[in-house]
Amino acid sequence: MGHVPPGRAMESGVPPFGPSASWEVLRRRAELLTELRSFFADRGFLEVETPLLCRDSVVDLHIDPFAVEVSQPPGETWWLQTSPEFCMKRMLAAGATAIYQVTRAFRQGEIGRWHNPEFTMVEWYRCGDDMRAGMALLAELAQAMLGADSVLQIEYAELFRQGTGIDPLDATDKALREAARCHGLDAAGESTRDDCLDFLFATRVVPSLPREVPAVVYYYPASQAALSRLDPRDDRRAERFELFFRGVELANGYHELTDAAEWRRRARAANRRRASRGKREIPVDSALLRAMESGLPAGSGTALGFDRLVMAALRRRSLSEVMAFPWERA
């Protein structure tokens, strides 16, 4: 009497109390985390911890942080971090040379098979690395963690051409819009150049990658530089790279932008676009900006979704199979 199976909800509104992932998967997950920590320890990285709740946050048009009303200082809004980027870069400006962190990141509204609003992120930085060195480290990690023999490295523009027949750096906005529409992006809403690139990349380009080979895609279009620096030899593209495996984006890395003025310009532009879409603006002035003004050493940094890595490594189809308590059970 009274026994409730762990997978069954007792009444509507109350989630089942048991984990959604099996114990076998949770055990493998813990082993992968141990392997990951030794991967970084073996390479001389220092494990660090930074706060999840901060007075500032990354300003990005498409990343929405959770705002938290704090009682000290009274009346202020702080932010659950969407990545540990700010605090880790402050550490670099204060003398760190190679650091990594396993932490939680929070992103409002991102719920789906491959998304959970709270997730585990692994982020690392190494001073002196350029884009190639950052990519090489990521490829090494992919090989070690995913048990892959080799890692494909391919330029964004080349891959985009293969998947769509379109040159993403030179095509006109009109040509991109037409291609997006003809591949099923609803034409009713207004689409920016990046909306079209993202749509075509997600629906035509990523599926064209070999499924069982990890792929590092690099030199993203300049409009998608985020916080990476532009290629000094070709400013149509940015020194940004991503890791894909089994159709899923696992990691994003930069040859880091260190120019404070450029950083401020990009944050302000992102805030303007946020405001025009009815989104809350995020403070631009931050301790990171101060750190950059004092001198952020050149280097490369990468963020990796650990839950997705586990999902890919264990050949599971959804995050809920590899997380104990995903959003529906949190």
Partner 1 sequence: MAVYKTSEFRKGLKVQIDGEPYLMIEMNFVKPGKGNALYKCKLRNLLRNTVIDRTYKGGDSLEAADVEEIEVQFLYRQGDTFVFMDSKTFEQYELTADQVGDNWKYLKDGMICSMVLFNGNPITMTPPNHVVLKVEYCEPGAKGDTATNVTKPVKVETGAEFPAPIFINMGDLIKIDTRTGEYVERVKS
- Summarize as ranges the residues that interact with partner 1 (CB under 8 A): 60-63, 109-115, 184-186, 188-189, 191, 194-195, 198-199, 201-203, 224, 226, 242, 249, 252, 277, 303, 305
Q: Which is nearer to partner 1, 46 or 275 (CB)?
A: 275
CB of residue 61 vs partner 1: minimum separation in angstroms? 8
Q: Which residue has the tokens 């952020």?
A: 296
Smallest gap, in angstroms, from Cβ of residue 38 to partner 1?
26
Our CB check for partner 1 shows the closer of 90 and 193 to be 193
CA 33, CA 217: separation in Å to the nearest integer?
Answer: 25
Give the separation between CA 282 and CA 280, rounded to whole angstroms: 7
Start-to-end CA span in the chain (Å): 26
From the CB of 4, what's the least distance to partner 1, in Å? 26
| Least Cβ distance, residue 226 to partner 1 (angstroms) | 5
Closer Cβ to partner 1, 258 or 302, answer by number:
302
Separation CA 140–CA 222 (nearest Å): 26
Q: Which is nearer to partner 1, 26 or 284 (CB)?
A: 284
Q: How far is the CB of 208 from partner 1 (least distance, A)?
A: 16
* Helical axes 131-146 vs 306-313, angle rounded to 10°: 50
Neighbouring residues of 199: CB distance < 8 A, sequence distance ≥ 6: 180, 183, 185, 191
Q: How far is the CB of 328 from partner 1 (least distance, A)?
A: 13
State which residue, 70 or 111, has the beta carbon closest to partner 1: 111
Tokens of 206: 């990523």
Rounded Cα gap, residues 196 and 192, in angstroms? 6
Q: Which is nearer to partner 1, 30 or 111 (CB)?
A: 111
Distance CA 237, CA 246 (A): 25
- State both tokens at 220: 């993203």
Q: How far apart are CA 80 and CA 262, in angstroms?
A: 25
